[in-house]
Amino acid sequence: MLKLVERASPLAHVVRQGRFGADRGAVGVSLSVRHPASIVIIIARKDKAEAASKAIAARFGAGLPAAGKSSAGGGASFHWCGADQWYAIADGFGEGELYRALRETLAGLASVSDQSHGRVIMRVAGPKARAVLAKGTPVDVHESVFATGSSAVTQMAHVGVHLVRTGDDAFELSVFRGFSANFWDWLTTMAEEFGYQVG
């Protein structure tokens, strides 16, 4: 059994737990960092996307999702992030374990690259989550358009963001590690008017 991931969060010196911003009424937004998480990008080779999806389904119980969608199985979630490209994300895997499993499963069908140390996933939830996100992205995050399981590549605060809706009022935002501290600062500033809880 491989040792579980024990990497330091690049936001460890930035994130402070507690309630911040407007202190009247209920908290409008909850913010957190999903850490540690195994993150692997999958890029299907030419004309191999369907075969790659079948291989993933055989190994994980769910195939690769269509454009703008997500799927999950075998302890991992798969999120569309471009033409014939997906992120595989999981918790509780040993260091490099998800990458090795995908490399073996997709041999000859897709290229895989471990992004676990290169990206940071932030969670935004609560009744005002959409209002916060709407301040920075042109993606229509209304529930009638961006349903649970929807996935998009966008920009917020001049930073490239991978956006996924994970629940009724819950979203995950993945950014490059080098931008994560500045992006967290922007995110908390946008949440101040609603009152936010960091946990």
Domains and CATH numbers, the chain: 18-36+118-198 (3.30.1360.120), 38-114 (3.30.70.1520)
- Which residues of the chain have a pLDDT value below 70? 1-6
pLDDT at 58: 98
pLDDT at 138: 94
Q: Name residues whose C-beta falls within 8 Å of residue 8's C-beta, 6 or more positions apart in sequence.
A: none
Identify the burial level of 96 via C-beta atoms within 10 angstroms of its C-beta, where 0-12 means exposed, 13-18 middle and 19 or more buried. Answer: middle
Q: What is the sign, positive or negative, of the torsion defined by CA atoms of 36, 127, 28, 154?
A: positive
C-alpha 85, offset from chain centre: 14
pLDDT at 1: 46
CB atoms within 10 A of CB 114: 18
Contact call for residues 105 and 55 (beta carbons, < 8 A)? yes
pLDDT at 140: 96
Q: Please give the structure tokens belonging to residue 2.
A: 């491989």
> pTM score > 0.75 for this model?
yes
**Distance separating alpha carbons of residues 179 and 119, to the nearest angstrom:** 9
pLDDT at 2: 52
pLDDT at 179: 96
pLDDT at 8: 76
